[in-house]
Chains A and B, each alone.
Chain A
């Protein structure tokens, strides 16, 4: 079926990076301090960037490091610094809710893995162009030009909105 795999270099790289990603994600939920969670997820994001390199997506890997590891983690750490996290881990546990959530997530995981095992993936008919970064650049400015510009508008609107939201309101006099 789909899970018999021979030991190639790609598989070894995939396995090592996958273990890193899953360990980072699970540890992130185990830590009690928020900063540790953020750093552990940064580790997961780096492992995912490595997986993108294995998948011949060098540009996406580069953007992943730049954006997730660089920007989003730092943004979250700034968010942690601007808010107080004293009484963490002291809240009463909610065993019922956590059990229900775990059961639901495991059910979803089981369904997904069952579907992936059952699916029949035909072999690829072509291969990616050798210079993917160059091809991505060409497509972004020809075929994908309109969505590209729309995304830049979205980013501008989002950042103006973020500044407007987080700005200190003046006292009304």
Chain B
């Protein structure tokens, strides 16, 4: 009877796939894309709860719109930082971005 559990499970699977990508991939662009995937999984939860929660309301959908906006800002700044680092190091390998750690 409960579709909500199915949606939450799908979101959990997508979130974990995104997390695995963030942790293992070395290409900075793939890392950024994986973060977008995780944000999308969260949005799916919000929209699912906005329909199947105890009190269905539009707040979940509106909140997911705000999340998408912040994700767009994050992607824009992320790609800009990536291009700036690429100019300095000629590489997009995240293992080489370790100046702050040395």
State the A residues within 8 Å of B (CB).
Answer: 2-6, 10-11, 14, 18, 21-22, 25-26, 28-29, 34, 37-38, 41, 44-45, 48, 51-52, 55-57, 59-60, 63-64, 67-68, 71-72, 75-76, 78-80, 82-85, 88, 91, 94, 97-98, 101-102, 104-106, 108-109, 112-113, 116-117, 119, 121-122, 124-129, 132, 135-136, 139-140, 144, 147, 151, 154-155, 158-159, 161-163, 165-166, 168
The secondary-structure label for the interface of chain B is helix
How many residues of B sit at the interface, in one of the four size bands? 35 or more
> Quick check: B12 and A113 within 8 Å, CB to CB?
yes
29 contacts between A and B (CB under 8 A): A3-B5, A5-B1, A6-B1, A11-B6, A22-B14, A29-B21, A29-B34, A34-B27, A34-B30, A41-B33, A55-B51, A60-B47, A72-B36, A75-B79, A76-B33, A80-B29, A82-B83, A83-B82, A94-B24, A98-B24, A104-B19, A128-B57, A136-B61, A151-B69, A154-B70, A158-B74, A158-B76, A166-B80, A166-B84
> Quick check: B13 and A105 within 8 Å, CB to CB?
no
Contact A2-B5, Cβ < 8 Å, known A124-B53, A151-B66, A162-B77 = yes
Q: How far is the CA of A41 from the CA of B56 in the complex (A)?
A: 30
| Chain A residues closer than 8 Å to B34, beta-carbon distance | 29
The secondary-structure label for the interface of chain A is helix
> Quick check: B23 and A101 within 8 Å, CB to CB?
yes
> Quick check: B12 and A51 within 8 Å, CB to CB?
no
> Quick check: A108 and B6 within 8 Å, CB to CB?
no
> Quick check: A21 and B30 within 8 Å, CB to CB?
no
> Quick check: B6 and A79 within 8 Å, CB to CB?
no
Q: How far is the CA of A162 from the CA of B32 in the complex (A)?
A: 15
CB distance from B62 to the nearest CB of A (A): 6
> Quick check: B3 and A14 within 8 Å, CB to CB?
yes
State the B residues within 8 Å of A (CB).
Answer: 1-10, 12-21, 23-27, 29-30, 32-34, 36-37, 40, 43-44, 47-48, 50-59, 61-62, 64-66, 68-77, 79-84, 86-87, 90, 92-93
